[in-house]
Chain A
């Protein structure tokens, strides 16, 4: 156990801090500002796409999780936005690096990193949620093309997306896990219809996407035909890493402490109310526990140790904690906490309610809490799998 950083890392931290100081004022805030220009600046300094090889448009540094952590810590401390983090960058790029052809890497990674191609993910279907492998969107061979028919759901950014990475069934006669292929195609093609899916937050964070005789060249496949399940699992691994980020909980806790210090009820600070304070303290302990848990996993990774069950719990616990932080903020605000949609007296632009509702979506998405518990008990604790009802 040694939580100090060696001089090399301290020097790196100084460098990141200097960058934050120099460029902080020009950083885009919220929807304002030029995110693409910011992204370009971050890549050229190695603060985004850090370990992606230069030839594909990244910065080309050796993987170093400590440096990545220092960047995150300093950006959060300075209140600067990190680089772009859409599904293309977070999920498709690592997948292409691992399993894409040279041509696909050259063609897609650079523009994706620079925000020139926005991607959406075509995985879930109305009939294939937790049981994703039972998906039925069909891709039938016709000359040099696949012809695609079917429907996807829970597709975020589909309306803005230029491209989709999509799971389709190419081998109708094979067992369900062996008949899937992973295709890349344009969202601007004829036969694609995007319908916004309005959620409980009142916004359309997701969409439904309908495919009618969409023609996709057969060469735009990642991996081999029928290997799409394997390719998709490489991607899901990246998504689960993304969904349990403890930095987010730390940021929320900070905002929650400010809220408790500044909001008053009957002329007294909320912090002086012992019941609210006790709830805040319970959450603070949880945030610390997950933060240190992240450090433990980081060290295990550096040492090449398998942290076993300790890693499998991160998505479940991280998403739940974020949800609980938002839930508590709403309780602390009381009647102010139910204000929404630009109402007078609204606090934090209504983000506590939006987060509270949207986090429920994150608890369900990317492998539901119940699926996570299956994974933890089966892979982490060695408990028996659910007996299979029937072969599909």
Chain B
């Protein structure tokens, strides 16, 4: 019985963090935010560490690691509000291909995703969070029609993995005829999402296994990754709040010596640390206890989102007026957490899935 990280896992996370400290400081995030589909130099540095291939089997050029390892990477990316593809292109798309791709499809796509040569957007929002504005994709004779919203890692994607209304999974070339791409601006300028409109668009079916089960796994994995991203972003916000409170003076004292401020910091860390334990368990369960995966992924996502929201506003408050400014840039973390909360299902939706998964109610 061992509930903790291995020294390899700690080293891997450390090296991702150190790399991001070097290549992805706040100035770099600012430059990319809203202007570049993603920061290609930051991605390149991550490719050198093997991050995009983290869950891809070694035979396809990846590291062949567990979802817990991927969660540790996601935490590091959230910590640095890194404007790079990861959740969709490096975790969900490979899981789709591993789950239901043919041998030829795996050989064709997995190595390129692992090397960062190819970026995959993932369109599963309707299945994960529910359809808005009557969005949904229908497949007929190998062609797709309809609308997919909130497509993750849309910016700069070369291919898209698209779920249809009947949980079929498809690969679509970003340049396919009849595909209309519309960028969506969100609060979080570090992640470029969008909308896809399909008018009888040519698609490649992923059908070598059980697509519905694979789609569920993708949703679970995505929720765990977003929770880990929030864990990283929230942890960093607490560090920043504590550091600021130790420096900023009012009434002749550092504000961090006032209990009103200290207690806010204590509440933040007391709420966030158990999220780490929950996320580790959910990620481990994803690989080792698939029967618990849906419920634990949902709990990790929903609970970390609730705590993340609390940390984001409280850390901002500890910074006083400065926290509210663009100059300090704390809002990049605040907004990243806000994005994570809604993507692939907000807390209420995700908790509903947890209730269904344990048979408390029907679907």
Contacts and interface: CB of A to CB of B under 8 A. Distances in A.
A378 B3 CA distance: 27
B259 A384 contact: no
Given A298-B3, A383-B265, A3 B284 contact: yes
A261 B3 CA distance: 32
A317 B266 CA distance: 11
Given A1-B68, A271-B360, A281 B262 contact: no
A71 B303 CA distance: 30
Contacts of A6: 1
A374 B257 CA distance: 10
Given A1-B280, A278-B348, A370-B263, A295 B257 contact: no
A177 to B, nearest CB: 21
B288 interface: yes
Contact of A277 (B68, B296, B306, B360): B360
B355 interface: yes
Given A285-B302, A290-B274, A383-B242, A1 B267 contact: no
A313 B270 contact: yes
Nearest to A310: B273
Interface string B326-363: 00000000000000000000001001101100001100
A6 B2 CA distance: 11
A4 B360 CA distance: 28
B244 to A, nearest CB: 11
Given A5-B1, A285-B299, A293-B273, A374 B259 contact: yes
B313 interface: no
Nearest to A284: B299
A122 to B, nearest CB: 29
Contacts of A383: 242, 245-246, 256-257, 262, 265
Nearest to A277: B355
A260 B302 CA distance: 21
Name the residue in A272, A310, A372, A377 with the highest tally of chain B Cβ atoms < 10 Å from its Cβ.
A377
Interface in B255-302: 256-257, 259, 262-263, 265-267, 269-271, 273-278, 280-281, 284, 288, 296, 299-300, 302
A293 B5 CA distance: 13
A299 B281 CA distance: 13
Interface string A277-292: 1100110111011101
Contacts of B35: none
From DSSP, what is the main secondary structure of chain B's interface residues?
Answer: helix
Name the residue in A9, A288, A302, A370 with the highest tally of chain B Cβ atoms < 10 Å from its Cβ.
A288
B4 A303 contact: yes
A386 B361 contact: no
A387 B253 contact: yes
B3 A377 contact: no
Contact of A9 (B1, B302, B306, B361): B1
Interface string A355-392: 00000000000000010111011101111111100000
A303 B274 CA distance: 19
A346 interface: no
A309 B268 CA distance: 12
A386 B256 CA distance: 9
A74 B355 CA distance: 26
A266 interface: no
A347 interface: no
Contacts of A271: 360-361
A316 interface: yes
B68 A386 contact: no
B278 A381 contact: no
Contacts of A78: none
B124 to A, nearest CB: 22
16 contacts: A2-B1, A278-B348, A281-B355, A282-B351, A288-B296, A289-B303, A292-B3, A292-B277, A293-B277, A299-B2, A372-B266, A377-B265, A377-B266, A384-B254, A384-B256, A384-B257
Given A285-B300, A378-B262, 7 more contacts: A1-B6, A3-B2, A5-B1, A281-B355, A292-B3, A309-B273, A381-B266
